[in-house]
Structure 1
Amino acid sequence: MIRAALIIFLVAALATAILAVTGEPGHATVEWLGWRADMTAAAFVLITLLLALSAMMLWRLLLWAAEAPRRAERARAEAKRRQANEVLTRGFVAAAAGDGSEARRLALKAADLADEAPGLARVLAAQAAEAAGDAAAAQAAYTAMLALPDMRLAGHKGLMQLALSRGDVAGAASHAEQAYALPRTGRWAWLALLEARLDVADWDGARELAKSALDRKIVSPIIADRARAALLAASAAQFEGDADPKRRAQALDLAAEAAKLQPTFAPGVVMAARLLAADGKAGRAAQGLETAWKAAPHPALWLAYRDLKTTETPRQRADRLRHLAALNPGARESRILMVEQALVAGDSSGAQQAVKALEAEPVTARTAALFARVAFVAGQPDEARMWMAQAGAAEQEPDWSDLDPEGRAFAYEPADWARLVVSFAETGELIHPRHERRERALGALPELPMSYEPAPFVEAHEAEAVPYEIADELYEDEDLPPPPAPRGGERRASGRRRLASGPRVAK
């Protein structure tokens, strides 16, 4: 306001100066209480502006003096707010560091200072109680949060975690359900409810929960679709082995929906193919497996593809597997499949050629077993044994076949399906319980004797050995007599090794 008055005063002064310069100063007369003043118009304007400016400044001074008590109160409130923020910050840091006693002391101090942020003070009180190991105080603090609409979600989360810490699964699920029912809820509530339903194998209820979470935009469409696909496969798994045709038809519908929803979800695709093949629809099963292989090759896919037909010759089966590998030739699983199809066809040279594409990769138990099989069919049992030894010590890799060579991939228990749903929904990755339990599948390794056989790989030389005599004492290299020149096909003996009178025999 003062700035505006100054601007007006300067404009008026400029206008008066212009009037004075032009030679037309004007005339003004002022009469007040018997007094009379004659002056120029410019002087009158300047005097009037000065009086107005002085009056305004006087008024502002009076207002400043009148507002002094209120201004002092605001300063005290601001100082208290700064102190409260500092105490809250130090309290949260102490709680995060696990210093329960310091956190509780600061929480009590913050309760007196943080009048404008009671929610933060209650959160600090709860976290301080947890850091101090006082479950009753933490329970009371989180319960007090439920009285504040903006703090209810945080209160339910804290109460759920306390219930889980003391093993009260039902109480934890109750708080998660109440939190999920709030207009503004958190993703943790959805995940806690999902896990609670998975624990009891309530696949249908879990699917409804995933759908509602998508509708409320709690989770992204990708996570919701992954969860629904895994849940559909879990539902199909419980009906797959049922003797009732209606249940098996229901399992087929569920597995087909899972494969359609997530073509990269191998358990759903494999299960749908298995059920379709059992229903006499091998063509549709093969088409689904081929589509999945194009999207994301997986070992279980080609195993299921291999078993679609049981009346074909090895050559025909190898041709089918080669066709599957050609759908995604750059993938690692396709390179492995090229080796497998050569082994199926009994093509040892083709297997040796195909396995070269895997030589640059890190050796795992699975690839070492594959190298051992290739070496065995190529007539190299000693090299096969070497790869078998590496397979026993190399890093394990899931092969997704069962321990029984005739068993099924993804033969999961309900608890395994529950873990798979959470893992696949969150990360898109599958779990392999048998691999996690370090169970080993040795059916992929060739059966070889553990001792050397007489002579396929170590043979005595057909030519007669011609030994030469040396003294029994040890000599330095420069003192040894020069050995005779070797005959054609014979190896020169080492100077430090004592020769035998005849060739060694393989043991």
Structure 2
Amino acid sequence: MIRILFFLIVVFALGLGFAWLADRPGDMVVTFGGYQYQVSLMVAAVAITAVVAAVMISWWLVKSIWNSPYTIARYFRVRQRDRGYQALSTGMIAAGAGDAALARKMNKQAAKLIRSDTEPLIHLLDAQASLLEGDHDTAREKFERMLDDPEMRLLGLRGLYLEAQRLGDLSAARHYAGRAADVAPQLGWAIDSTLEEKTAGGDWDGALKLVDAQKSTRQVDRDVINRRRAVLLTAKAQDLLDTDLTAAKAAAVEANRLAPDFPPAAVIAAKALFRQNDIRKGAKILEAAWKAEPHPDVADLYIHARPGDAVLDRLSRAQKLQSLRTNNVESSLAVARAALDAQDFKLAREAAEAAIRMQPREGAYLLLADIEEAETGDQGRVRQFLARAVRAPRDPAWVADGYVSEHWAPVSPATGKLDAFEWRVPMERLGQLIEQADIEPAHPSLALPLRAEPAAVDASTALIQADEAVGGPLEIVEAVIVDDGTKAEAAGKTAENASGEPDVAEPARLPDDPGVDPSQEDRSERRFRLF
């Protein structure tokens, strides 16, 4: 665009110059070789312009002829390079599609048309073709040669890392990941693998340095960095809580500042403060954490902040938590437990029943059973609540990769992944029920993995769980229910009645067991409940 404007300006200037000369007549006299030449100014200007144009055109022609060999060679070189890049592109697509033969063919063609020292992608295509052909030793050699080239070093480390993982050599894989993390902290695969190595060895400071290096690249989301730092600082504080209380408090308080809705950080920070007799600050941290995310560990530590408090004082603190988060199941359960300890059975029952109305689950029914046993001692009612607890959804727990734990941990015990534990209701119970009932699930999605540490159940519990899983009674060949050393056999075999028709005998009940509430036994509307 600028060239066009410049050309127009030059033409316009020439036009103005010739017009100016045309309006001012005059003569130009030139004496040369004894002769005198006289022409007008307009003719002289046109002649000078023609001579300059002729000189420029002649120079362009001479230059073009002189540079013609280079121009022709450059044309064929560009054409060859374009063909090479086309072959390289086709080879990369073939490698991605898994076509080993075409990838190798295009690699050879590209290597002939393009110099490998000027185009690193040829080395990558060569290594990928070797991997597709199953020649992993050759591929590893090519990845190792890439380490000598600064431009290809990260690619070579990535290839060697994947090959080490394929061979199951975890130490070698982490070695290559560590080298890559030192060069480029923004690489997620390198940072994750190196973090797993350092967290597995409890090197929390080294892991924090890696996260700080990743933060300095400004290529990772700030919230992700803060979450990782909070988890690592919480793990560090957890390890130092019994040995270096000051350092543990500093790490936990910083973790709580980075992630206020992370209950383990608040719990560790409050524990450290309580041990330093700073009850007020620790209580504020727990209150803020409770407002952000109600958690039973937060409630338990807050209620028992002062070991010497009376049970009524603990009840008052539980009620204060309830005022911070009203209409919450964890708040009601905290008040119910504190009221049970204070022997205020009416308040405990009301709070537990309110929790069940909001979210019926196993822990709430077990708490009602404890209240009933402490208040009336009615074993029939206690068994009724226990039976409901067996059928109810499980309480939330820390779950990571199918492993269920009562306590939070920074890494998964199954995979070693950082920050893998989630506070949620385990979904593994459905898989347990289906396996205990020895039936096929109605849909493949219902076949969930079993928990890593399944709780032991007696025969009666297994029958009730299996009954609930299938949504109806099972045909049990023989079951023995053990209760206080008394054995009662329940035959589920079909028996012939007086009319000769088969009839299913009901399981025997103990005399003082009223059974399950009929409202809870409506099998026609029973469905699976995952949560």
TM-score range, shorter chain: 0.5 to 0.7
Residue of structure 1 equivalent to 2:268: 271
Contact kept, 8 Å, 1:236 with 1:255, in 2: the verdict is yes
Contact kept, 8 Å, 2:131 with 2:139, in 1: the verdict is yes
**Which structure is larger by alpha-carbon Rg, 1 or 2?**
1
Residue of structure 2 equivalent to 1:291: 288
For the pair 1:105 / 2:105, whether they are aligned, the reply is: yes
Contact kept, 8 Å, 1:153 with 1:185, in 2: the verdict is no
Q: Following the alignment from structure 1 to structure 2, what is the Cα–Cα distance between the partners of residues 455 and 387?
A: 10
Counterpart of 2:362, as a letter, is A
Q: Following the alignment from structure 1 to structure 2, what is the Cα–Cα distance between the partners of residues 112 and 397?
A: 66
Residue of structure 1 equivalent to 2:18: 16
Counterpart of 1:338, as a letter, is S
* 1:291-440 alignment, distance < 5 Å: 291-308=288-305, 316-329=313-326, 334-338=328-332, 340-342=334-336, 344-345=338-339, 346=345, 347=347, 348-349=349-350, 351-352=352-353, 356=357, 358=358, 367-369=360-362, 372=365, 388=389, 390-391=391-392, 398-400=396-398, 409-410=406-407, 412=409, 416=413, 419=416, 421-423=418-420, 437=451, 439=453
Counterpart of 2:228, as a letter, is A
Q: Following the alignment from structure 2 to structure 1, what is the Cα–Cα distance between the partners of residues 278 and 427?
A: 30
Distance change in 2, residues 1:384/1:442 (3 Å): farther
User: 1:181-222 CA deviation, whole Å, 9 max, x = no partner?
Assistant: 337873433332222222333334323433444456575654
Q: Following the alignment from structure 1 to structure 2, what is the Cα–Cα distance between the partners of residues 318 and 41?
A: 114
Contact kept, 8 Å, 2:234 with 2:251, in 1: the verdict is yes
Give the C-alpha shift of residue 76 in structure 1. 1.6
SS of structure 2 residue aligned to 1:53:
helix
Contact kept, 8 Å, 1:228 with 1:258, in 2: the verdict is yes
Q: Following the alignment from structure 1 to structure 2, what is the Cα–Cα distance between the partners of residues 47 and 5?
A: 21
SS of structure 2 residue aligned to 1:338:
helix
Contact kept, 8 Å, 1:153 with 1:186, in 2: the verdict is no
Residue of structure 2 equivalent to 1:118: 119
Counterpart of 1:323, as a letter, is K
Give the C-alpha shift of residue 265 in structure 1. 2.6
Distance change in 2, residues 1:433/1:130 (3 Å): farther
Q: Following the alignment from structure 1 to structure 2, what is the Cα–Cα distance between the partners of residues 287 and 442?
A: 40
Residue of structure 2 equivalent to 1:129: 130
* 1:193-208 alignment, distance < 5 Å: 193-208=194-209
Normalising to structure 2: TM-score of the pair? Answer: 0.65
Distance change in 2, residues 1:456/1:154 (3 Å): closer
Residue of structure 1 equivalent to 2:144: 143
Report 1 or 2 for greater relative contact order, CA contacts < 8 Å, sequence distance ≥ 6.
1
Q: Following the alignment from structure 1 to structure 2, what is the Cα–Cα distance between the partners of residues 177 and 277?
A: 39
Residue of structure 1 equivalent to 2:82: 82
* 1:174-253 alignment, distance < 5 Å: 174-182=175-183, 186-215=187-216, 222-238=223-239, 246=243
SS of structure 1 residue aligned to 2:120:
helix
Distance change in 2, residues 1:373/1:433 (3 Å): closer
SS of structure 2 residue aligned to 1:149:
coil
Residue of structure 1 equivalent to 2:171: 170
More strand by share: 2
Q: Following the alignment from structure 2 to structure 1, what is the Cα–Cα distance between the partners of residues 427 and 237?
A: 21
Normalising to structure 1: TM-score of the pair? Answer: 0.67
Give the C-alpha shift of residue 338 in structure 1. 2.8
Give the C-alpha shift of residue 303 in structure 1. 3.4
Q: Following the alignment from structure 2 to structure 1, what is the Cα–Cα distance between the partners of residues 11 and 330?
A: 91
SS of structure 1 residue aligned to 2:418:
helix
SS of structure 1 residue aligned to 2:152:
helix
Q: Following the alignment from structure 1 to structure 2, what is the Cα–Cα distance between the partners of residues 455 and 190?
A: 57
Q: Following the alignment from structure 2 to structure 1, what is the Cα–Cα distance between the partners of residues 93 and 220?
A: 31
Distance change in 2, residues 1:329/1:455 (3 Å): closer
For the pair 1:153 / 2:138, whether they are aligned, the reply is: no
Root-mean-square deviation (CA), in Å?
Answer: 4.5
User: 1:404-423 CA deviation, whole Å, 9 max, x = no partner?
Assistant: xxxx9426497649946344
User: 1:2-54 CA deviation, whole Å, 9 max, x = no partner?
Assistant: 9978865664454434544x4x4211234555665433221221232223223
Fraction of identical pairs, as percent? 26
